[in-house]
């Protein structure tokens, strides 16, 4: 099997068996996507059209280019053709936690979910705090069918919140940003210094906000449901206080911050107010937090255990309203696969995290079917908007654009089972549920990296 080389900052493998019928291993072929409804939010293009791909680029939308002979034709009748999805931060678990998942298993799941780019969080073992670990991830991404994989480096060494990581070296090797994952930096001086360092080299900080003292011992939202269940709750103030501290330091340092997985409704207002002051901040919400709230938690099912916790229905609705108004920039999977043993315990003792690549499109389109988002806005929130947050510009479907494309059937009904979830992590509260909407093809850099059966 050949291994195409890749320059930083992204790493790509070769084709896997799921695309062996599309021109052979490592061949880039001419592709025509026919009769699909093309939705390109950045240009407000929305019409039934053909898309013509040659090499890595889109060379025409609509009219067939002169002399073009497609090696592969994808019939997208009654399907939607849109820009490929971009994941702003998930836990791929490799290196170090391969008993939970691997880069190969999760990259395949991401491709099946319509993702053409995914960001790997630094909570690995070893932590992504040196160029050597980035090289290791690049090497392990070779030889598999995969979206583009971007690394988010560590903000502090070992994510311990004590010594700043070598951010310049991480930036040089291709990291698109830095983060301390969900590990709080308790020393405010270290936090301030880390933001100053990142600002000095124009590196985005991906920030999760939770006060460790207010969250200590908690496993779900602090409210009526947690009281009824007898579980220690995590108040919204844990997020709001931590977020406020970071915003104050952003005013002082000028650091670019992308806040990940907001859960509290008031957080949206805090960030909106900060932007009105001209602060360089953006934010996303997870697909789980706009589809579920604490009242949905079934008994003590640990598959609902996630950090930050699922909050109240009022919070969920505020997050969705923020998406509508443009106050929240993106929706991300915040995919975190866990092995069965990590969830086969009490709710509070289980490892947090939801496996969300496989169900992402269905849950996204549920927001459309429920009238909470328009089709164009939903697609923008998972493609062009996260591309801007990464500093990559618009991710679109126009002539000259890189062919990063998702094709999906919005009306296909399927049932999620452990045997058809591609991710190694089966830890989803949507297991054994009837879902609507399924990705049929994913194309990254002009290569078909997923083709549904």
Q: How deeply is 298 buried, as exposed, middle or buried, from its count of CB atoms within 10 A (0-12, 13-18, 19+)?
A: exposed
Q: Can you read off the two tokens belonging to residue 113? A: 């979910």
Position 153 in a domain: yes
Position 370 in a domain: yes
HSE, CB side, 13 Å, CA atoms: give it for residue 275.
Answer: 16
Q: Mind listing the pLDDT tens digit for each residue in 397-416?
A: 999 999 999 999 999 999 99
Position 424 in a domain: no
Convert 14-32 to b/e letters by CB count within 10 Å (16 or more is b): bbbebbeebbeeeebbbbb
CATH code for position 364:
3.20.20.140
Q: Looking at residue 13, what is its pLDDT?
A: 45
Position 42 in a domain: no
- Measuring CA to CA, which residue among 407, 431, 414, 434 is closest to residue 111? 407
- Residue 94: which domain range? 83-389
Residue with tokens 């002051």: 277
Domains: count for the chain: 1
Position 426 in a domain: no
8 A C-beta contact, residue 352 and residue 336 = yes
Position 23 in a domain: no
Separation CA 308–CA 172 (nearest Å) = 31
Q: Mind listing the pLDDT tens digit for each residue in 373-395?
A: 999 999 999 999 999 998 887 77
Cis peptide bond N-terminal to 95, omega within 30: yes
Position 284 in a domain: yes
Which residue stretches of the chain have pLDDT < 70? Answer: 1-28, 145, 453
Position 56 in a domain: no
Q: Looking at residue 393, what is its pLDDT?
A: 73
């Amino acid at each position: 099997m050949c291994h195409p080389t890749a320059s930083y900052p992204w790493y790509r493998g070769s084709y896997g068996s799921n695309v062996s019928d599309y021109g052979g291993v490592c061949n880039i072929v001419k592709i025509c996507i026919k009769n699909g409804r093309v939705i390109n939010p950045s240009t407000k293009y929305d019409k039934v059209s053909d898309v013509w791909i040659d090499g890595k680029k889109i060379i025409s939308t609509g009219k067939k280019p002169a002399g073009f002979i497609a090696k592969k034709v994808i019939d997208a009748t009654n399907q939607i053709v849109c820009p490929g999805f971009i994941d702003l931060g998930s836990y791929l678990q490799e290196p170090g936690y391969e008993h939970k998942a691997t880069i190969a298993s999760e990259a395949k799941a991401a491709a099946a979910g319509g993702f053409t780019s995914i960001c790997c969080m630094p909570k690995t073992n070893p932590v992504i705090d040196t160029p050597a670990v980035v090289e290791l991830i690049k090497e392990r991404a070779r030889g598999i069918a995969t979206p583009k994989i971007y690394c988010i480096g560590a903000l502090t060494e070992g994510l311990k919140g004590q010594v700043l990581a070598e951010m310049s070296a991480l930036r040089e090797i291709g990291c698109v940003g830095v983060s301390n994952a969900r590990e709080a930096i308790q020393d405010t001086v270290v936090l301030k210094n880390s933001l100053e360092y990142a600002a000095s080299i124009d590196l985005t900080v991906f920030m999760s906000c939770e006060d460790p003292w207010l969250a200590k011992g908690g496993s779900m939202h602090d409210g009526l449901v947690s009281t009824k269940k007898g579980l220690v709750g995590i108040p919204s103030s844990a997020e709001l206080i931590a977020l406020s501290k970071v915003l104050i330091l952003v005013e002082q340092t000028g650091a670019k911050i992308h806040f990940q997985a907001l859960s509290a409704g008031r957080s949206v207002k805090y960030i909106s107010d900060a932007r009105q002051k001209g602060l360089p901040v953006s934010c996303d919400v997870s697909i789980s937090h706009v589809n579920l709230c604490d009242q949905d938690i079934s008994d003590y099912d640990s598959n609902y255990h996630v950090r930050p916790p699922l909050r109240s229905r009022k919070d969920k609705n505020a997050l969705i309203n923020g998406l509508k108004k443009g106050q929240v920039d993106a929706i991300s999977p915040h995919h975190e696969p866990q092995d069965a043993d990590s969830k086969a315990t009490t709710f509070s003792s289980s490892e947090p995290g939801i496996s969300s690549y496989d169900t992402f499109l269905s849950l996204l389109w549920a927001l459309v079917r429920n009238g909470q988002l328009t089709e164009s806005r939903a697609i923008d929130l998972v493609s062009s908007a996260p591309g801007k947050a990464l500093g990559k510009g618009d991710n679109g479907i126009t002539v000259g654009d890189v062919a990063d494309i998702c094709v999906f059937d919005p009306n296909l009904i399927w049932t999620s089972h452990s045997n058809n979830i591609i991710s190694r992590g089966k830890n989803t509260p949507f297991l054994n549920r009837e879902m609507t909407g399924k990705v049929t093809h994913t194309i990254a850099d002009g290569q078909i990296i997923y083709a549904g059966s």
